[in-house]
Amino acid sequence: MTALVARTGRHQQRYEHGHRLVAGCIPYRYRPTGDGKSMEVLMISSQRGEGLLFPKGGWETDETVEEAACREALEEAGVKGHLQGMLGTWDFKSKRQQGVFCPEGLCRAYMFALDVTEQLETWPEQHARQRQWFAVPDAIVQCRHDWMRGALDQCVAFLASGSSSTSNPMLLSDTSLSLEH
């Protein structure tokens, strides 16, 4: 079995109009209930332990935005699944991401809905992050940023509209990405 390793560094990072481009997803699943099913979303702790987030990270020059979103879900949350569609883009400011190409720390997140098909026992950032499933109302409370609540609201609306059944889902398979970088 090959160990998965998270990508690090900024040498292949994408930037556009003063923004660092990031890709992420809202991993979700449905749980049976007495009267149907309820949606749950997976959230992860930040590396510094300050609140909960959805998996996201730098979109690099050697991958598509979809590949980047799936890679981040695998690296940070240890999940694989089908991308169900892009939810939208959200701009935010990050104190951690200030640098030469992005002096103000501006980021633009491309977020997707990810229908989780597999939750791994081990994953690259398991020692740096905790993961936890939440019912949507509880996840909204846990979101530490307004833009994340907006993305979650959009995810719920997107899935409720049935849009995901007509999209072209992308499956993250064991061989689709090389994470040793």
pLDDT tens-digit readout, 127-144 = 999 999 999 999 999 998
Count the domains in the chain: 1
Query: How do 19-33 and 56-58 pair as beta strands?
Result: antiparallel
Q: Is 179 exposed, middle or buried (0-12, 13-18, 19+ CB in 10 A)?
A: middle
pTM of structure: 0.82
Tell me whether residue 172 is in a domain: no
Lookup result for tokens 């749980």: 31
**Neighbouring C-alpha atoms within 13 Å toward the C-beta of 50:** 3
Q: Give the CATH number for residue 138.
A: 3.90.79.10
- What residues make up the domain containing 89? 20-161
> What integer is the mean pLDDT of 8-27?
85
In the predicted model, is pLDDT for residue 170 greater than 50? no
